[in-house]
Structure 1
Amino acid sequence: MFVERKLAMQITNISEVKANLSYLIKMIQETNESIIIGKAGEPVAVLSAFKKNSLPRKLGGSWEGSVKIAADFDKTDKEIIDGFYNSSLFPDQT
């Protein structure tokens, strides 16, 4: 059976985590400490409390306000449009 102990910085093997997952989650919620999960004594994963970001997500990210889009950005040159509709797929190679 899982022995109560300080959770942080100790490696808990996978079978112990499987057998005691509900208990470990409860302990993480109460202590806000993480559990290191190991295989063959080597750390492979960390089980920790979910931290909800208290700041709302900023649309546009870090570039917001830094990039200006021209009013005519979606206008296309007539020569380019003509190339799409009137050129051959494989032009003659001479």
Structure 2
Amino acid sequence: MKIMTVGDLKTRFSEVLQEVQAGEEIAVAFGKKKEIVAYLVPKSARKPAKRTLGILANKGKVTFQSDFSMTEEEFLGV
């Protein structure tokens, strides 16, 4: 992983994006202490996050009777 300052990143932005697309991970450092404030990672390295339902999570429940049936036309309202 490379570490770059904000100034270097601004100067070489296009090159940096090409490196990230090639699979390189880059940390962005900022300030006098050169504290890492961000990471640029390739899209392929990201793990898909689980989606949450939000405020309605675990609030409702759906059950269907065993004799329930609906045609596609009824479902689509055609």
TM-score w.r.t. the length of structure 1 is: 0.44
What secondary structure does 1:18 align onto? helix
Q: Which has the higher contact order (CA 8 A, sep 6+)?
A: 2
Superposition deviation, residue 48 in structure 1: 1.4
Superposition deviation, residue 69 in structure 1: 2.2
Which residue is equivalent to 2:41? 48
Two-structure CA RMSD over aligned residues (Å): 3.6
Larger Rg: 1
Q: Which runs of 4 or more aligned residues in structure 1 lie more than 6 Å from their structure 2 counterparts after TM superposition?
A: none
Which residue is equivalent to 1:15? 7
> How many corresponding residue pairs?
56
Which residue is equivalent to 1:35? 26
CA distance in 2, matches of 1:48, 1:34: 5
TM-score w.r.t. the length of structure 2 is: 0.52
- Report sequence identity in percent: 21
Matched to 1:46, the amino acid is Y
